[in-house]
Structure 1
Amino acid sequence: MTKEQFTETRPKLAPIPPESVLLHVGMPKSGTTAIQFSAAKLRPELLQHGVRYPGTGHNHSLASFAVARKRRGWQSGAGRLPIVPMEHWNSLVTEISEDPGNRIFVSHEYFAERSIDVGSKIVSDIPRGVHVVFTIRNQPSLLSSAWQEYLKSGATETIDEWLEIVLNGAPHKHGYPSFARRSNLSENVSKWAALVGPENVTVVVLDKKDRGLLNRSFEQLLALPQGFFERAKLSGRQENRSMTRIEADLVRAANSRIVETPGLDWATFRDFHKFGAVFSLLRDRVPPKDESRIMPDRWALELMAQRAREHALQIESLGVTVVGDLANVYALPHDSGVRQPPTTNVPIDLAAQVEFGAFVAAQKWRAKQALSGKDFARFEPLATATRSAGSQAASTDEMQIALTQALGGVPTLALGRYLASRAVRSATRRLRRRVR
């Protein structure tokens, strides 16, 4: 495949005008989690530099779902999940309106895929100028990352089964339509360019050879000092690191049992499995360097590259500002021919980490339940953190610290791992039977 010579923006980006809004709309799996956690961790420092990161959570997902009148997560059993209340969007708009002197930074990766009508409402509701920024990654490599994200939300398909569904339209009860929306790069960029004008859209193309490009671009757009976001010192979870093949196979095997539970609801799955077991794995485990990565079949990589090349050509024609080389959007990975067989054995330490993550999540759940009971005084530090950090506080460092202080009677890390190890032997046997 011939590599076109795209126009590449190398000079320093001009900051957005003072008192305007930088709306980071996505795309998913393109450094969004890292930039969001960095901004959340450095919220006070941002304000000192004339930038407000509204709210208290690590991103603005609730506002994104609310303005689109969407539900978050799935449900099994009685009733559907409620639509996220509009108050979350209204609260964001109010905070923007009440701070006329600073630049405002808003970020969530699902803004990109919102309909033109929802996008129009977003732009009209925000009471000042809006500059939209996209972050886009290499699309062939997106396949394995996207599959992992669906695993975190309960998917049970192998990567080969999933690829047949999203690329070849294989029959499936859900079909993963969100993947089609999120990989339609040119349509998303074109839509937002029509809403705010191409001169107010920046597309940052990630580059493995220039790891600092992402932070640097946001620092320039927000008139921040170079190296500002590096101060955040993110963990593996906050950087949203990729799973290895063995980790992904373990999560998929667990999903296949968990989602069969009668009456399972999204909140339970999210709190105990996704935000407990899986995020503990990503936050605390450092995989060995020789642990195999996830690699799709070559036919899928080539098909995704072909589609991405077409999107890159269309984006080039829109007149938006492009940072980086659009050819990186469709380049094939150098090791695209290397594949590993499915995992059949799970290391004890890996199973123990997952078990321990679920164990800690259960302790946190008990602490939250106690807030409304007779032991409220014991959990006052947690209650204070909850009040100050808001509805998304469970994902913040402040909440983690408060939980540690509140759970004075909870076993230590070493004891917790000891208790978890009691279940490892039987769990490992089950996983060996189920992992294919």
Structure 2
Amino acid sequence: MSRVVHLHVGAPKTGTTYVQDRLGLNSRSLARHGVHVPTGSPLVSPALFQFRAALDLLGQDWGGRPGHADGAWDQLVRKIRRTSGTVVVSHEILAPATPDRVARAMADLADSEVHVVYSARDLARQLPAAWQESIKQGRKWSYRRFLDRCERGNSWFSRAFDVPSVLGTWGAGLPPERIHVLTVPHSRVTGGDSLWLRFCRATGIDPAWAPVDSERANRSLGVAETQVVRQLNRRIKRATRREAEYDELIREMLAQDQLVRRSSAPVRLPPERFDWAEAEADRWIEWLRGSGVDVVGDLEELRPQRPAEGEKWRDPDKVGAKKQLRTAIDALAAMTQEAAGRPDPERQLVRRVRAQAQRLRQS
């Protein structure tokens, strides 16, 4: 049985949500052309199923009850082994996997021709997006502390973003032509479409096989909105932030929907961090040019673009009280409307009991 498995391992904040959603939306069409995006059941999206499989492979347990991902990786491997043609597995949390976890993945897929796909983005855009994402996920660190840890290389994001480290681990033992690096375009206007076309080229997918576009994207918050969510995180107990209701209410409804509609200064890389970001880009580009891996895109897109002369930088850690108050009021209004619109389970139970009692009296 001939089988090619493309492991899209990240990086975070490089359009992975868009790619995964588009794969899921077009999974049936892709399957008709021999491209398979495995899932657990028709009721579970490929993105969620593969997220759980990635968690299981990494020995981690995010965003659910304890043990919710147990066995998911083995289930994914069984599905892959029953498939011929092309298989696509995608999740960005795989990027900073340790050598022993990568070795397990490669051993489990030893009967397939494995390719590694990795999308890379310049740090001037990637780091601000990563800090916002961490705040959406419940973290409460300041922007400065986040950047300091990234510069020192001791944060999860910095490990996931480090091109030589990630590809050195995932590409160990693979010929360079099986390692595909997609650069993320600087332009926001054409970025999503260009990235998808580059992903298709790397995986051998004809774009015509996936005609349904995705509207999913992790939209950016401004400095005021991010600071308000951060302050909210600081006041919520850690146990509460681990519950699914936090993710649904704060991340999905508030941070991903209501607050992104507001307009405030964007989160950007501080001017004094550009020298370091440019040095990192030089290191990445030099490694890629000497590695022989397949680069889809332009390596120059990995270089950060400095802001225009005279453009003012806004410190996300120092947002004025009035701006925070206006944002907080908007957030409170949105959450109040959401709470008012949700059914009360206790009241619904009382109504059902009363209705049943009425039916019994009438019978």
- Where on the TM-score scale, by shorter chain, does this alignment land: which range? 0.7 to 0.9
Aligned to 1:256: 234
Counterpart pick for 1:162 among 146, 164, 167: 146
Per-residue CA shift, 1:399-425, capped at 9, x if unaligned? xxxxxxxxxxxxxxxxxxxxxxxxxxx
1:165-314 to 2 correspondences below 5 Å: 165-167=149-151, 177-209=155-187, 210-211=190-191, 212-226=193-207, 229=210, 231-234=212-215, 238-258=216-236, 261=237, 264-265=239-240, 267-268=242-243, 271-285=244-258, 287=260, 291-314=264-287
Assess, with a 3 A threshold, how the Cα gap between structure 1 residues 319 and 358 changes in structure 2: closer, same or farther: farther
Say yes or no: does 1:342 pair with 2:319. yes
Assess, with a 3 A threshold, how the Cα gap between structure 1 residues 333 and 233 changes in structure 2: closer, same or farther: same
What's the CA shift for 1:246?
Answer: 2.1
Counterpart pick for 1:27 among 11, 30, 49: 11
Structure 1 distance, partners of 2:293, 2:343, is 49
Residue aligned with 2:94, SS: coil
| Letter in structure 1 aligned against 2:230 | R
Per-residue CA shift, 1:332-381, capped at 9, x if unaligned? 34349532251423244444234555777x769x69xx9xxxx8xxxxxx
Aligned to 1:402: none
Structure 1 distance, partners of 2:233, 2:60, is 24
Q: Give the TM-score of the pair, scaled to structure 2.
A: 0.80
| Letter in structure 2 aligned against 1:214 | L
Aligned to 1:382: none
Contact 1:69 1:84 survives alignment (8 Å): no
Per-residue CA shift, 1:170-189, capped at 9, x if unaligned? xxxxxx63123113211111
Structure 1 distance, partners of 2:255, 2:61, is 26
Contact 2:119 2:182 survives alignment (8 Å): yes
Say yes or no: does 1:353 pair with 2:353. no
Q: Where do 5+ consecutive residues of structure 2 fail to align?
A: 353-363
Aligned to 1:319: 292
Structure 1 distance, partners of 2:343, 2:25, is 25
Per-residue CA shift, 1:38-91, capped at 9, x if unaligned? 1122222221222111113324121112122223269xxxxxx84665410110
Say yes or no: does 1:39 pair with 2:39. no
| Letter in structure 1 aligned against 2:278 | A
Contact 1:216 1:227 survives alignment (8 Å): no
Contact 1:160 1:296 survives alignment (8 Å): no
Assess, with a 3 A threshold, how the Cα gap between structure 1 residues 330 and 276 changes in structure 2: closer, same or farther: same
Q: Where do 5+ consecutive residues of structure 1 fail to align?
A: 1-16, 75-80, 170-175, 376-436
Residue aligned with 2:276, SS: helix
Residue aligned with 2:278, SS: helix
Contact 2:135 2:229 survives alignment (8 Å): yes
Residue aligned with 1:264, SS: helix
| Letter in structure 2 aligned against 1:63 | A
Aligned to 1:123: 106
Aligned to 2:58: 68
Structure 1 distance, partners of 2:340, 2:22, is 28
Counterpart pick for 1:105 among 75, 88, 99: 88
What's the CA shift for 1:34?
Answer: 0.9
| Letter in structure 2 aligned against 1:38 | R
Contact 2:259 2:331 survives alignment (8 Å): no
Structure 1 distance, partners of 2:340, 2:71, is 33
Per-residue CA shift, 1:81-137, capped at 9, x if unaligned? 84665410110011111122x311100112221112211211121231111110111
Per-residue CA shift, 1:251-279, capped at 9, x if unaligned? 11110101xx3x725542xx222332221
Aligned to 1:394: none
Contact 2:138 2:241 survives alignment (8 Å): no
Structure 1 distance, partners of 2:227, 2:67, is 32
Contact 1:23 1:131 survives alignment (8 Å): yes
Assess, with a 3 A threshold, how the Cα gap between structure 1 residues 332 and 355 changes in structure 2: closer, same or farther: farther
| Letter in structure 1 aligned against 2:239 | L
Contact 2:124 2:277 survives alignment (8 Å): yes
Structure 2 distance, partners of 1:334, 1:272, is 39
Per-residue CA shift, 1:259-316, capped at 9, x if unaligned? xx3x725542xx2223322211354348568531012321123322212321221122
1:357-436 to 2 correspondences below 5 Å: none
Q: Give the TM-score of the pair, scaled to structure 1.
A: 0.68
Contact 2:6 2:87 survives alignment (8 Å): yes
Structure 1 distance, partners of 2:266, 2:306, is 13
What's the CA shift for 1:203?
Answer: 0.2
Structure 1 distance, partners of 2:92, 2:58, is 13
| Letter in structure 1 aligned against 2:95 | A
Q: Mean Cα displacement is larger for which, 245-254 or 271-280?
A: 271-280
* Greater share of helix: 2
Contact 2:80 2:87 survives alignment (8 Å): yes
Structure 2 distance, partners of 1:201, 1:291, is 39
Per-residue CA shift, 1:196-239, capped at 9, x if unaligned? 221101000011234222110222344444365562331xxx21
Assess, with a 3 A threshold, how the Cα gap between structure 1 residues 357 and 132 changes in structure 2: closer, same or farther: farther
Aligned length: 332
